[in-house]
């Protein structure tokens, strides 16, 4: 089964890597997508699962910001971090995580190799090594990545996770290449 040309290699990636239009205002660092990362994946023949953006799904594109109040990116990230801690948001993140785990299980059932998860460091939701809360970037996972990790753990699935920052292109490319190299050695 599945003996055609497909590579049987897949990566899960944060929504905004492929769609910078979904980012919080003043946070898009590319016009449409992070092309350098896409090129690496395309050249390696790796399939992509674009994870839904929990912030966009829960708070909308403008993230329910007050249009009459001056804000900074940091203050908005703090506000969003607090909003994403709400029970309805946590439920949404868990639901998205369950759906992704189902897809991972399906691929693994048929011999596909899920290489890892690529998130966005500093994000209150999709941070892997760092997240945002209380007006600063801190070590730890964002709320969505925490939920996804819990779902993976509950199903006995271990896949590596790495985070990148869109404005640090060379470091992002290195992180993705290391993720792919480590996954191919496993």
How many Cβ atoms from other residues are within 10 Å of residue 179's Cβ?
Answer: 20
CA 56, CA 30: separation in Å to the nearest integer? 18
Asked whether residue 151 is domain-assigned, the answer is yes
- Domain span at residue 117? 9-185
How many Cβ atoms from other residues are within 10 Å of residue 36's Cβ?
Answer: 13
Q: Is the per-residue pLDDT at 17 higher than 60?
A: yes
Asked whether residue 112 is domain-assigned, the answer is yes
Asked whether residue 13 is domain-assigned, the answer is yes
CA 103, CA 110: separation in Å to the nearest integer? 11
Q: Is 62 helix (H, G, I), strand (E, B) or coil?
A: coil
Whole-model pTM above 0.85?
yes
Q: Is the per-residue pLDDT at 21 higher than 70?
A: no
Count of domains in the chain? 1
DSSP state of 24: P
CA 176, CA 182: separation in Å to the nearest integer? 10
Asked whether residue 164 is domain-assigned, the answer is yes
Asked whether residue 4 is domain-assigned, the answer is no
Which residue do the tokens 């092309």 mark? 35
Q: What is the mean pLDDT of the chain?
A: 89
Asked whether residue 3 is domain-assigned, the answer is no
Asked whether residue 1 is domain-assigned, the answer is no
From the list 9, 157, 134, the residue with the least C-alpha distance to 82 is: 134
What mean pLDDT do residues 113-140 have? 95
């Amino acid at each position: 089964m599945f003996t055609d040309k497909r590579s049987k290699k897949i990566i899960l990636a944060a929504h905004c890597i492929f769609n910078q239009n979904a980012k919080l205002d003043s946070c898009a660092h590319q016009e449409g997508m992070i092309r350098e990362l896409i090129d690496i994946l395309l050249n390696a023949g790796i399939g992509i699962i674009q994870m839904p953006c929990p912030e966009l799904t829960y708070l909308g594109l403008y993230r329910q910001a007050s249009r009459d109040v001056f804000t900074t990116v940091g203050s908005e990230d703090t506000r969003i971090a607090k909003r994403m801690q709400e029970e309805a948001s946590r439920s949404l993140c868990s639901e998205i995580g369950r759906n992704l785990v189902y897809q991972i299980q399906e691929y693994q059932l048929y011999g596909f190799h899920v290489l890892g998860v690529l998130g966005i460091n500093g994000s209150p939701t999709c941070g892997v090594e760092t997240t945002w809360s209380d007006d600063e970037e801190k070590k730890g996972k964002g709320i969505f990545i925490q939920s996804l990790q819990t779902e993976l753990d509950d199903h006995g699935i271990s896949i590596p996770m790495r985070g990148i920052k869109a404005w640090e292109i060379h470091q992002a490319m290195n992180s993705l290449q290391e993720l792919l190299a480590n996954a191919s050695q496993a």
